[in-house]
Amino acid sequence: MDSAPPITPAANPLVLFRQWFAEAATHEPGLPEAVSLATVNRDHRPSVRMVLLKDFGDDGFVFYTNTQSRKGQEIGDNSYGAMCCYWKSVSRQVRIEGTFAPVTVAEADAYFNSRPRDSQLAAWASLQSETLSARSTLFERFKAVAAQYEGGPVPRPPHWSGYRLRPTMIEFWQDVPNRLHDRVVYEHAASAGWQWRRLYP
């Protein structure tokens, strides 16, 4: 009845995630690295938005942002958060829960320097999440920053960096007809490492 072979768990969930991500990158139109990111403020109210997953490994899942934005402020208030990857083209989803930690200065510098110049300038021009009276104001700020750094490199703003979601739970979901979906969840314990189990759909 399965439309695809059952999920075959590995000892380390990152092995399976790399496999699924590679398959999604081949089949998913647009941005397979687009993920929903959930944060929680100091009043325990959640918010969610899409971000781009820029790196991942055994130490976590990395994205970059303005640290003074709403999500940056909420991460500062509450280190717990979650991500969800959904790839419609391969009928799969991965949910990740854990705690946030800042990336290193070297990592932030390296990624910022790899961005297109206009994206670097936009990081200076945008007061992310603050009220904008008119679109023209943003464009004027962009022009001013472009003039300021004309002919030279654009430095990384002190308020622009990245975060790593360090997972304590990773759940893999695969679509199966008749809603008999295949689900495998990994949970991490300091004493035992990663342990997995299957879940009812």
**Domain locations in the chain as residue ranges:** 13-115+157-199
* Residue 74, CA distances (Å) to 27, 82, 83, 99 in order: 34, 13, 15, 12
This prediction's pTM = 0.94
Q: What beta strand segments (E) does the chain contain? A: 34-40, 46-52, 55-57, 60-66, 80-87, 92-102, 160-174, 182-189, 193-199
So which residues are the catalytic ones?
Answer: 179
Fold of 13-115+157-199: Pnp Oxidase; Chain A (2.30.110)
Residue 146: name the closest of 115, 128, 124, 126 by CA.
124
- Ramachandran angles phi, psi of 35, nearest 5°: -135, 150
Could you give the CA distance from residue 199 to residue 45 in angstroms, rounded to a whole number?
28
Confidence of residue 163 (pLDDT cuts 50, 70, 90): very high
User: pLDDT tens digits for 88-116?
Assistant: 999 999 999 999 999 999 999 999 999 99
pLDDT at site 1:
46
